[in-house]
Structure 1
Amino acid sequence: MTIKLIIFDLDGTLVDSLDDLTDATNHMLSLLGRPTLTSESVRQLVGQGARRLVERALVNGTEAEVERGIDAFLTYNGEHLSDRSRLYPGVRETLEVLHGIGLPLTVISNKNVALCRGLLKVLGLEGYFAAVLGADSLPFRKPSPEPLLKLLRDFRTSPATAIMVGDSINDVAAGRGAGVVTVGCTYGYGDLAELRDADYRIDELPQLLKLPFFN
């Protein structure tokens, strides 16, 4: 197959941001008088956007608490985007190769788009991506295929020539719904069971370059 578009998830796929997400979550919980969580507990909350994370962290929280929590979480996360976030091994080198052969690279995340762009900028990745969509870019977010379908339209690419690379069931479900090839990243935040329906699985991003469509 000929690849004409690659779509990446962000957190858990390109960037290990779990420590910063944990700090933002615990800052929010502390402000609301709730017990803090371990990073492993926060890992299980990541993947469906800030609102869902806050709702799940604030067990039995009122609507007012959730709204305060979202504001506190987003504000803190925006001010501490990359205090402890790091690229996964081989990410920059892999993007450099893909960019060098002229493939359009894009990001679809369930993080708000301003935070996506901010994180990519501070980590020196913004120049690699032709488009970035976040949770607030469209009415629908992953696992809906709609963000992927938008990029397919924008880049005039058929599903058969596109790849979705991500670490969670949201990425796999969105990719399968859009009809694109799915690549599950086993090193990210999702459990391995979430990736069982992915067309391919990789243990580090450089392995993407060894998949059949690049050889």
Structure 2
Amino acid sequence: MSISAILFDLDGTLTDPKLGITRCIQYALSELGYKPPDADELLWCIGPPIQESFSQLLNTSENRLLEEAIALYRLRYSTIGLFENYLYPQIIDILQKIRLAGYQTFVATSKPHIYAKQIIEYFDLSVLFDAVYGSELDGTRTVKSELIKHILITENLAPSTVVMVGDRLHDIIGAKLNHVTAIGVTYGYGTEEELKIHGADLIAHSPEEINKLLVHD
């Protein structure tokens, strides 16, 4: 592979956001008068755009209710939830090695970029990325394929020189729709089966395996 740039998903790939995301969903549902599921029953919500998750949780496509749920979620997430988060082991080490090998690196998350940037800064990762890309608060570019397309155009990257690394089907589908190589990681919130079914080119079971796939001595 003549790869020069790596796009990294955030939740479930660089960090484990379980605590923050599940607590914020539970808070929003409680405020709306619903009995929220236990945290372990909400793990499927980590990865997809939050509107999709609330649409399924509330069994509705009514915009007003979904907007209210998202506003409540963000009320807690923007001040508390985004910091209820931790880096996966080895992440800093493998990012340093990938950078030293000469690759450009970008964050590509369906999370709003204003939150993604705060998380990257919180973990002192800013120096390890050329840029952080995410969605807009109005929902623009929450679909991973649209986000990846935006990054390719903005950074003038040829799809054949780019790899997308992520833990959910959205990352793989988004990469494939843009003719980008996809590495699926199994230490996050997607299964190996999910990743392979949707076309992952390579599978990494740990951050160190990402490094081995990309950096060759």
Query: Structure 2 length normalisation: TM-score?
Result: 0.90
**What residue ranges of structure 2 are gaps of 5+ in the alignment?**
none
The residue matched to 1:183 in structure 2 has which SS? strand
Residue type at the aligned position of 2:148: L
Out of 199, 206, 209, the position equivalent to 1:207 is 209
Per the TM alignment, residue 127 of structure 1 is displaced from its structure 2 partner at its CA by: 2.1
Task: Look up the equivalent residue of 2:113 and give its one-letter code.
Answer: V
1:62 to 1:149, Cα distance in 2 relative to 1, 3 A: closer
1:105 maps to what in 2? Answer: 105
Whole-Å separation in 2 of the counterparts to 1:25 and 1:212: 36
- Whether 1:141 aligns to 2:139 is no
Paired residue type of 2:58: L
- Range that drifts further, 109-118 or 56-65: 56-65
> Which aligned pairs between 1:63-212 and structure 2 lie closer than 5 A?
63-136=63-136, 139-144=140-145, 146-196=146-196, 197-211=199-213
Distance (Å, rounded) in 2 between the aligned partners of 1:110 and 1:50: 9
Q: Please tell me whether the aligned partners of residues 19 and 81 of structure 2 are also in contact (alpha carbons under 8 angstroms).
A: no
Q: How many Å apart are 1:18 and its aligned residue?
A: 1.0
Residues 184 and 202 of structure 1 are in contact (CA less than 8 Å); yes or no, is this contact kept in structure 2? yes
CA positional deviation for 1:62: 4.9
Per the TM alignment, residue 92 of structure 1 is displaced from its structure 2 partner at its CA by 0.8
Tell which deviates more after alignment, 64-73 or 151-160: 151-160
Question: Are the equivalent residues in 1 in contact too, given 2:22–2:39 (CA < 8 A)?
Answer: yes
Mind listing any 5+ residue stretches in structure 1 that lack a counterpart? none
- 1:2 & 1:71 partners in 2: Cα distance? 43
Instruction: Within 5 Å, give how 1:37-48 maps onto structure 2.
Output: 37-48=37-48
For 1:54, the equivalent position in structure 2 comes to 54
Deviations 1:189-213 (CA, angstroms, capped at 9, x unpaired)? 1232221120100111111121166
| Secondary structure of the corresponding residue to residue 7 of structure 1 | strand
| 2:6 paired residue number | 6
TM-score normalized with structure 1 length: 0.90
- Provide the rounded CA distance (Å) in 1 between the counterparts of 2:63 and 2:149: 33
Task: State the 1:188 CA deviation.
Answer: 0.9
SS in 1 for 2:92: helix
Per-residue CA shift, 1:98-123, capped at 9, x if unaligned? 12233211011111111111111112
Number of equivalenced pairs: 214
Distance in 2 separating the partners of 1:133 and 1:33: 34
* Aligned-residue offset at 1:186: 0.6
Give the partner amino acid of 2:96. Answer: E
Asked whether the 8 Å contact 2:12–2:46 carries over to 1, the reply is: no
Q: Secondary structure at the match of 1:214?
A: coil
**Which residue is 2:35 aligned to?**
35
| The 10-residue stretch of structure 1 (70-79 or 57-66) with the greater mean CA deviation from structure 2 | 57-66
Distance in 2 (CA, whole Å) between partners of 1:157 and 1:163 is: 11
SS at match of 1:11: coil
The alpha-carbon deviation at position 61 of structure 1 amounts to 7.6
* Contact kept in structure 2, 1:187 and 1:203, CA below 8 Å: yes
Instruction: State the 1:39 CA deviation.
Output: 2.1
Distance 1:29 1:128, change over 3 A: same
Q: C-alpha distance in 2, partners of 1:12/1:54?
A: 19
